[in-house]
Amino acid sequence: MKLRKTLLVSAAAFALAMPVWSFGADDPAPTPAPAQQQPPRGNRGFGRNALNELVSALGELNLAPDFALAPDQKTKIQSIRDDFKKQSDQWRTEHAADIKKIQDQFAELRNAGQDAQDKRQELNTARTQLFASAPNADEAAKQIQAVLTTEQVQRLTDEQAKIAKARQDAAAQFGGGRGGQGGRRGGGAGAGAAGN
């Protein structure tokens, strides 16, 4: 019982330590698609991806009294994010039927057991190929890094490493990660087609 309570307190503290910060108040939080329907971790731009993780780390840094983004940097960063969101929304609209078809096929196979392993592999390949045409979050993240000073980039790199370590530590503490007690974690840099 004490271990369970400690784990719950740790999880809450971890969640509070990683606030989601946005440059625009009107930008809704990303909503990842269910885990089974997400493409493999990559650079595809939905859910948790290189762009969202960079912006989150920048937000965390910008709360520090010795780090500040200049107004023109914020304007450029917001413009990059807006352009990426527009491209992503357009891609989702154009590929909505394809995404739905793959989701429906996965749903049909949900209770098919081991017999459908080959079909699942085909669907995974089709999904990967489909999402390969999505806007690239890594490119948008690189554009944002180009707006920053050398010192800001170094601080950002350090912050991202700190966040990644905290995520790994939490996963290890709770037995999470792919294939662990926590099952498959949703997302990655490019997860899901729902929301950005």
Q: What is the DSSP string of 83-105?
A: HHHHHHHHHHHHTHHHHHHHHHH
pLDDT the model gives residue 108: 85
The pTM of this model reads 0.61
Q: What is the pLDDT of residue 178?
A: 53
DSSP at 40: P
- Token pair listed for 18: 């990683």
pLDDT of residue 43: 41
Q: What is the pLDDT of residue 48?
A: 73
Orientation of helix 71-94 relative to helix 50-62, angle to 10°: 150
Q: How far is CA 111 from CA 105, 116, 120, 169, 185, in A?
A: 12, 9, 12, 34, 20
One digit per residue, the tens of pLDDT, for the chain of length 196 reads: 444 444 444 444 444 343 333 333 333 333 333 333 334 334 444 557 889 999 999 999 989 999 999 999 999 999 999 999 999 999 999 999 999 999 998 888 887 777 778 888 888 899 999 999 999 999 999 999 999 999 999 999 999 999 999 989 998 888 765 544 444 444 443 444 434 4
Are 84 and 135 in contact, with CB atoms under 8 Å apart?
Answer: yes
CA distance 47 to 112: 28
Cβ atoms of 148 and 156 closer than 8 Å: yes
If you search the block for the tokens 């370590």, which residue do you land on?
165
Domain residue spans of the chain? 35-95+133-168
Question: Residue 106's pLDDT is what?
Answer: 87
pLDDT at res. 176: 61
